[in-house]
Amino acid sequence: MGSVQIVTTILAAAITAVAVWLAVRAVMKMVAVIRLGQPDPSRFGDQVSRTKTMLAETAGHTRMLRWSVVGAAHWFVMVGFIVLSLLVLEAYFEVVSPTGGLPLIGGWGLYGLVTEWIGILGIVGIVVLIAIRLTNRPNRAGRRSRFTGSTMWQGYFVEAVVLAVLIMGFLIRGFKVATDHFEYPTWAAPLSHAVGSALPNWESGVSVAALIKIAISMTWLIVISLNVTMGVAWHRFLAFPNIYFKRKPGAAGSGLGPLRPMMSDGKPLDFEEADPEKDQFGVAHVEQFTWKGLLDFSTCTECGRCQSQCPAWNTGKPLSPKLLVLSLRDHAYAKAPYLLAGGGKDLTGEEKATAAQLAHVDVLALAEAEKPLIGDAEAGGVIDPDVLWSCTTCGACVEQCPVDIEHVDHIVDMRRYQVLIESSFPSEAGVMLRNLENKGNPWGAPQNTREDWTKGLDFEVPRVGEVEDFEYLFWVGCAGAFEDRAKKTTRAVATLLNEAGVSFAILGEGETCSGDPARRIGNEFVFQMLAQQNVETLNEAFEGREKAKRKIVATCPHCFNTLGNEYGQLGGEFEVVHHTQLLAHLVATGKLTPVQPVDGGVTYHDPCYLGRHNRVFAPPREVLGSAINGGTGGADGGLIEMPRNSERSFCCGAGGARMWMEERIGKRINVDRVEEAMSTGAKTVAVGCPFCSTMLNDGVNGKGAGEQVEVVDVASVLLRSVKPEPARGAEEGEPVAR
């Protein structure tokens, strides 16, 4: 060992020792913070699915590759990081000896080839990512930049380190080539040979370059260890467990759909026994999120994909799912010293720690602990109420998040506490909640008018109990029974089912609201009350049938989601389909035959609770495709897609009980969506949800375009094609004045 190698070895050992000590301390701190969260036993089952999903989403980058260029570049950088960690390890042998290399695999041609090419593609990948970050700088693009609100120096720092480490790898190899200590042929390592041909024959160059590479890598480790909230770096490690523990590991996409039940101490809360002095009602303090919630906040990479898709953020509202997650993360870590000392409030609001326990806690942590979780700027709140109530629960953020952060569950958990304990929510939604409690529907319509939509049809609509048998229970929904436009859809569906010879029956006055708006606003009490009543009614209607024969068809995606995905939490197991799925099947099997083409072009708006939450993308398109060309079209022949469609569809603004709240801030979401729909030039905007229909109709009328553009349900489009005027007669009911 020469004198240069003695110095490089000592320096490499010293900086590594400091970095590893700091990293161990940082990991222990993060684990301690995450363990502050509440238990969640539901995250440990189905280990095979969890492992498969984690491998597919990390190694396969299945979520990231939707953003193709960024996804591909990030894949090479990620693989580069993992594989080239071996080269950092190799550098420890090279600081000791210029001819050193990894034992066993060092010198193996395949290892040289793979690392060479991953290094080259890693450089290309990181340069692409740096270019994307630079061209999307918030100071250039403002709110349109997905990096607005991200800590930019951290992103630049991480990317610069990756680039520098990759370059140093080629410099080390170059010096080995120049000093004739390189084992790999030119065909296996062309860039290393090219670099080597330009370098001097300096043997210690290998050890010095290796020391620089180690120093850069360890500086990175030191910086991230001193910044445990630096998600852009820590996600390299945290993404694996965060994806492994996702809410529905085997489900396609992001696993949206059902909301998590309200939990207390790891168990679902039953309102017949719940006690607010003993049980946790939603989330009032950051430590009341589960450990998975705290892991979510720690894992955020600040990439801003969620923000770029959020309808609230895109229409000028204060909610950004990214900034919400970052606020919760920063608050959790700032408050952690107080909590770890034994601090915290019990369920009656009393301090748990003694004065002695808190005596040595940092004043900043004590001050952080005093902040209300929800509160405006004056109250020093972590999350502003306008942020909390802007969410439509559309799921665009969850769908886009590459590390499976579950924003919607966290938002609803915070709403639950505000509604159930603080009675604090937008006052206009109070009418809807009172109507649900007193009348069983959000409009407050009399229950005995639930069947009014059947009047004037030229066939009998059977009620459950009046018929011997039925294949489908037609769940009409409150909108479908009481709202004028939705009633047209209900009539159209009933007519089509009758036409196709499907045996169905309705509950009529036995139906009440599914409870979706109560649950999304956070009123789990009203939700459980309505849901239990409906589950009882439905169980009675299907008595003696196995699950596969407990079939329900629903026209409202919110009912479809709640009945199919959430009633199981209360003992109601049913096979629920959306009407577009059933209609697509009836067309495909020849039970319904479209004959009349649709004029003027058709576009389709994916309802969030049908598309993203339940991944029903194809059936409505198949129905429309068959109708557009009067039965001669292909699967979706002739449909004009909006730029934001399917998984990336833009919300209409009504979900998350926003239908029942005023939209006072920013541009109206429905107007934004209507402008997009009208930009296609289509004369018909087809929808598959009564709330979307209301919102988009309002948007079209607000723009004074009611004469040029019609917003109408997929079922009505099909009915016009199957039974053209005048054969259709009264089935759709009287036209609604626009």
420 touches ligand SF4 (CB under 6 A): no
Strand order in the sheet with 504-506: 504-506, 472-475, 551-554, 575-578
Nearer to ligand SF4 among residue 38 and residue 327 (C-beta): 327
CA–CA distance from 687 to each of 603, 610, 651 (Å)?
9, 11, 12
Distance CA(385)–CA(529), nearest Å, equals 26
**Amino acid identity, position 707:** E
Q: Number of residues interacting with ligand SF4: please give it, by CB under 6 A.
A: 28
Nearest residue (CB) to ligand SF4, 216 versus 695: 695
Do 528 and 271 form a contact (C-beta atoms < 8 A)? yes
Torsion sign (Cα): 554, 560, 565, 569: negative
Write down the least CB distance from residue 656 to ligand SF4, Å: 7
Span interacting with ligand SF4, options 43-51, 199-207, 395-403, 542-550, rule CB under 6 A: 395-403
Q: Counting contacts by CB under 6 A, is residue 294 touching ligand SF4?
A: no
Binding status of residue 125 toward ligand SF4 by CB under 6 A: no
Asked if 177 touches ligand SF4 (CB under 6 A), the answer is no
Q: Does 123 bind ligand SF4 (CB under 6 A)?
A: no
User: Which among 53-61, 200-208, 311-319, 413-421 is the span making contact with ligand SF4, rule CB under 6 A?
Assistant: 311-319
Residue nearer to ligand SF4 on the CB measure, 146 or 579: 146
- What is the sign of the dihedral through the CA atoms of 506, 508, 510 and 511? positive
What are the backbone dihedrals phi and psi of residue 263, each rounded to the nearest 5 degrees, phi first? -115, 150
Identify which of 325, 21, 381, 346 has the alpha carbon closest to the alpha carbon of residue 150: 325
Helix, strand or coil, per DSSP, at residue 681: coil
Decide: is 319 part of the binding site for ligand SF4 (CB under 6 A): yes
If one asks whether residue 403 binds ligand SF4 (CB under 6 A), the answer comes out as yes
Q: If residue 578 lies in a helix (H) or strand (E), which one and from where to where?
A: strand 575-578
Closest separation in Å from C-beta 405 to ligand SF4: 4
| Binding status of residue 312 toward ligand SF4 by CB under 6 A | yes
The residue within the footprint of ligand SF4, chosen from 119, 196, 293, 304 (CB under 6 A), is 304
Interaction of residue 394 with ligand SF4, rule CB under 6 A: yes
Q: Is 229 in the site for ligand SF4 (CB under 6 A)?
A: no
In whole angstroms, what is the distance from residue 713 CA to residue 715 CA? 5
Distance CA 472, CA 464 (A): 10
> In whole angstroms, how close is the CB of 608 to ligand SF4 at the nearest point?
8
Answer for which of 54, 310, 507, 712 binds ligand SF4 (CB under 6 A) is 310
**Residue 396 in the binding site for ligand SF4 (CB under 6 A):** yes
Coil, strand or helix: which one is 345? strand
Please give the Cα distance from 525 to 519 (Å, whole number). Answer: 8
Of the pair 329, 579, the CB lying nearest ligand SF4 is at: 329
Nearer to ligand SF4, 331 or 485 (CB): 331
101 binds ligand SF4 (CB under 6 A): no
Stretch that binds ligand SF4, among 52-60, 346-354, 362-370, 400-408 (CB under 6 A): 400-408
CA-closest candidate to residue 505, choices 542, 543, 464: 464
User: What gap in Å lies between CA 676 and CA 604, rounded to an integer?
Assistant: 11
Name the residue nearer to ligand SF4 (CB basis): 307 or 581.
307
Q: Please identify which residue in 253, 311, 517, 733 interacts with ligand SF4, judged by CB under 6 A.
A: 311
Nearest to 389 by CA among 424, 436, 432: 424
Which residues sit opposite 269 in a β-bridge? Answer: none
Q: Name which position in 405, 526, 587, 661 contacts ligand SF4 (CB under 6 A).
A: 405
- Please tell me the distance from the alpha carbon of residue 722 to that of residue 592, in angstroms, as a whole number: 7
Which residues of this protein are in contact with ligand SF4, per CB under 6 A? 300-306, 309-312, 319, 321-322, 325, 391-397, 400-401, 403, 405, 407-408
